[in-house]
Copies of this chain bind each other. A is one copy, B any other.
């Protein structure tokens, strides 16, 4: 567009603008975020920018995907910095809706992706993926993007959203992009802000463990339980500060445990480290590690 970034908080106005763009034949890309933008988000925006005519980024900390006792209230926020980063990334519309506008009194509708939502993180965060599927469905309907871009760190989320969009016949292409990492391998995440310096240092082992499992697989080990046990042991030794929620090797599409482990299977882990819940994953195959 080259006309500067618009900041829109009204759902009605955002939908009107996006329907006009879609109607005019221009290609619209969406990067949905919860704000507190980091280089991971920026890489999604840059990719989206390159593959579209108009880039919409949503900033919304969605209450519906937080369980009781989770970090909704203290989720990090910095609107001013987000606006700057979005502006620099060439965002055309920054959509900053209010919860009361998205979930008005009498709100009653939920989108559930069965099966996929109860695996892995779903076991530890009941209702989480229902909240995710619902808000993303709403965003797709509001902003009618041709393509929507998500990070692969939240692999389960990506698979669920792709399934949801396909199942509900939403005319959007759901794109997953590689995880961006800090120099020591830690996956970028807004929640890394919760880590103390000591925890932050130790956190690099989340990914180091996954990389080691990948090496073991590429060297010939294909027993799922054996590989999972190796990863658990790695975390016990190198991340004694953390409580492992799960480590699992699954089919990258169905998220079901794979036995034996195959090229393209996904190793996933979730750990609690101090106030942060960290998740990460790695594809068990030759090639670039993202």
A147 nearest CB across to chain B (Å): 15
Quote the shortest CB–CB distance from A159 to chain B (angstroms).
11
Chain B CB within 8 A of A7 CB: no
CB proximity of A172 to chain B, nearest CB, Å: 9
Q: Is the CB of A137 within 8 A of B168?
A: yes
**9-residue interface stretch from A46-54, A104-112, A214-222:** A104-112
Q: Which residues of chain A in 110-124 are interfacial with respect to chain B, using CB atoms and an 8 Å cutoff? A: 110-116
Assess whether A171 is in contact with B108, with CB atoms less than 8 Å apart: no
Q: How many monomers of this protein are in the complex?
A: 2
Interface residue? A83 (CB, 8 A) = no
- A127 → B minimal CB distance (Å): 13
* Contact B112–A167 (Cβ < 8 Å): no
Closest partner residue, chain B, to A111 (CB atom): B111
A285 at interface, CB cutoff 8 A: no
Chain B: CB-nearest residue to A138? B169
The reply to whether A109 and B133 form a contact with Cβ atoms under 8 Å apart is yes
Q: A108 contacts which chain B residues (CB < 8 A)?
A: 113-116, 163, 167
Which candidate, A19-27, A29-37, A84-92, A183-191, is the interface stretch facing chain B?
A19-27
Contacts of A115 in B (CB 8 A): 108
Known interface pairs A109-B168, A138-B169, A141-B141; 4 further A-B residue pairs with C-beta atoms within 8 A, sorted by A's residue number = A19-B171, A110-B111, A141-B169, A144-B171
Q: List 13 A-B contacts (CB under 8 A).
A: A11-B169, A22-B23, A23-B23, A108-B114, A108-B163, A108-B167, A109-B114, A109-B164, A109-B167, A110-B112, A110-B114, A111-B168, A141-B171
